Structure 1
Amino acid sequence: MPLAPDELATIAARTIAHYSASAEPFRDGTRDHDVSQNIHALLSAIEGDAPYDLLDVGCGPGRDLRTFTALGHRAVGLDGTPEFVEMARTDSGCDVWHQDLLALDLPAARFDGIFANAVLFHVPSQELPRVLKELRATLRPRGVLFTSNPRGNNEEGWNRGRYGAYHDLESWRSLMTAAGFAEVDHYYRPAGLPREQQPWLASVWRAC
């Protein structure tokens, strides 16, 4: 049975509240995470000459915004957690938009690439087609979307105070293709481990 509007609002509010309540520990715990493989995957797939206009969806405290800026790109952040928005603005110096994933308001054809690292799994499956199309619409022609999500067997629900939807590769491919993207690459993380020890599915997609 589809989730009703009030249920979707509760999912967004409770998930954001979870991050708000743990904003400082989250920043401290993720500050040194190495996502250079993911950043390279996005940047290497973008066509044309750098610097690029990039949107970091679910930017959190701003760690990756700082990296994109240090590499010479023009980065904008987006997050639904007010504490993260303020942290990211302060720490990165970038423009950071305070927007809920389920109520995006994005400019058309604004970005060369979107970095959605560990965030889109919070979108309920029934809303993903709409959200993915909204992300595609804010990309320029042949723009690139990078995603990384904890993988699963297409189950969803509450997990330690956060709502999550955990897709396998086939399900994710179907959703992305239906939203107007063509697959560039995919891989599992952390690198160099047996598949059962790689909980993250990363993928790169081009708007077509």
Structure 2
Amino acid sequence: MDIYEDLQAFQPANEQEAADRDLILSRLETDPAVFDRSSVTHMACSIWTVDPTFTKTLLVYHNIYDSWSWIGGHADGQADLAAVALRELEEETGVHGARLVPCGPGNVLSCEVLTVDGHVKRGAYVSSHLHLNVTYLAVADPAEHVRIKADENSGVKWAKLDEAVALSSEPWIRERIYRKLIEKTRELAPRFATR
């Protein structure tokens, strides 16, 4: 399966996911540069990482957003977004050996269109744009050593699920994304969590 087929088979949990999935599918159909940052709407991915008990999540303090955040990044030409998400997890936190949770077609946990305000990165201005984001769920060992990636984040920590909402300074992300991901995590816990 490819990401287009995965998203076609994905069952939206709410109106936000349904609308955003349709927009992502439309861009996949019509924009040949959608996997590249040169497109103003481009593919990105996130990885909602939990401990084996499904009670904690791994967060980074994102330098650009000035907030505790989930982990993710750009596709940068790669269509295998699950592999990109796992790579971003390792690059941004130092966590090795995380495994994806088989939570749906292509392991897609959720999808969302995220606005990114203009900002300066590595000394260059980046115009405002949209991330066509696909989110995956991974399990990692909280005993594993974590480290920051100074050009991206200034902190890495495990937090209780509900703390992710309180730690975020981004209202839309808190209410529309993190609450949804926490609810989905709790729904999946009986099938996948270890105690």
Using structure 1 for the length normalisation, give the TM-score: 0.31
> Which protein has the bigger helix share?
1
Indicate the structure whose relative CO is greater, using CA pairs within 8 Å and at least 6 residues apart. 2
Using structure 2 for the length normalisation, give the TM-score: 0.33
